[in-house]
Chains A and B, each alone.
Chain A
């Protein structure tokens, strides 16, 4: 099993540019979560999906953030336009039984907006 795959590993972009982060969950997992991690705020849940359907997006900070899951094997998190305060590590995680046995995290995308 290849685990949860995220791309890119690192992204440096200029303020105002569009950024797209990608995630491939573990095959057979029907839950997908997007988290953001900073030193100040720790791990924050942004949005989660069940069977490709967004269930809760109350953690998405602003309308500049959007997420999609067009099929069971792919999800994107888009920031448009990006701002320096969006700089963080963005993690995708997946699970097969909701939260009952925890999640498996991807390796993360370190985003730097300059």
Chain B
């Protein structure tokens, strides 16, 4: 079983601060990583994906990947109350003759005004 581990939280940060969300994965051969955001009662929506070691920035979001440590993170700068949600880390894994995404259970983020 290829595991994707996340701290369930809740992670509480004040408005304007940097929120740091972390994820570890067990399959050293994994190549593609994704972050989804899920508001309560809604479906997951894709925020970012990252394939290469290092940082990838998109607006207030930065994904960081370290394949040697099997670790991927998501930083949210200038956190807003609207960022309060559960953040799901997903890893592309081989399955059957193709691939699928294996999800962690998510980290709950609460941004307080």
A interface list, Cβ under 8 A from B: 31, 33, 35, 41-43, 45, 48, 50, 55-56, 58, 91, 98-108
Contacts and interface: CB of A to CB of B under 8 A. Distances in A.
Given A42-B106, A107-B43, A108-B43, A102 B101 contact: yes
Given A56-B95, A98-B98, A43 B103 contact: yes
Main secondary structure of the interface of A (DSSP, over half): strand
Given A99-B101, A102-B101, A103-B101, A56 B96 contact: yes
Given A56-B96, A56-B98, A102 B46 contact: yes
A103 B32 CA distance: 13
Contacts of B98: 31, 48, 50, 55-56, 98
B46 A99 contact: no
11 contacts: A33-B100, A42-B104, A42-B105, A48-B95, A50-B98, A55-B98, A56-B100, A58-B95, A99-B32, A99-B99, A104-B46
A18 B25 CA distance: 37
